[in-house]
Amino acid sequence: MRTPFVAANWKMHKTVAEATAYAAAFRARMETIRAAEVVVAPPFTALHAVAAALDGSPVGVAGQNLHSAPQGAYTGEVSAGMLREAGAGYVIIGHSERRQLFGETDAGVNAKLHAALGAGLVPIVCVGETLDERDSGRMFQVLNRQIAGGLADVELEAAGSVVVAYEPVWAIGTGRNALPAQAQEAHAHIRQRIARALDADGAAACRIIYGGSVKPANAGALAAEPDVDGALVGGAGLDPDSFAEIVAQNAAAAV
């Protein structure tokens, strides 16, 4: 059985003081959690402080993005090595907001994926369709393209280290929530496409998590689906109590 993977993406929220206060409160709630892998992704300015506050706890820390190059004249960017030095063990790649607002491409996602793997970071690779793409019947076509391009040339032995996050963009802040059955349909398709790219064992080892307006009210039902291996949480992950409840529901689904 795949260990559930639950991550909170804080996006552009929380000062260092706010982030470390969250880390202290959340850490206390996670001391008894062993059935799930749990990660928080603070903004870059708070990453080192949060990693220090969570050191020795079962909670990991992720960067929200990285550059594919190890160093260079890339103003405003952060490398995989910098993330590792700051205390991150994970990194989010190709988030829908990065794709939509900053023009990230599948090829760019793939370059970042290999940079992360090369530095020993666990990549959380995001895929997902927009409302227009879903309503026009192009959901599977979009997912196929993103998986083929974003996961190109991943070695079979690395598949277990890659986390894929399915983000139905149409279910984020639109008032339209994806039903558990819709999430399962997409996750099963993604696993099949990964199996084509690698093999059945590689696809079985890859954790595919759901990231579309996950809240305590729907986390348990989503986690109960056979191909949903956890959650990438946005707004509900900004509150330690709310996020702890989501983690608990995912951990319970694995027992």
Q: Which residues are tagged catalytic?
A: 95, 167
Angle at 183 between CA 181 and CA 187, to 5 degrees: 115
Nearest-angstrom CA–CA distance, 44 and 15: 10
DSSP H helices in the chain: 16-30, 44-54, 80-86, 96-102, 106-118, 131-135, 139-150, 180-197, 200-205, 216-223, 240-254
Q: Which three-class secondary structure state does DSSP give residue 209? A: strand
The single-letter DSSP state of residue 19 is H
Nearest-angstrom CA–CA distance, 29 and 247: 10
What is the residue type of 37? E
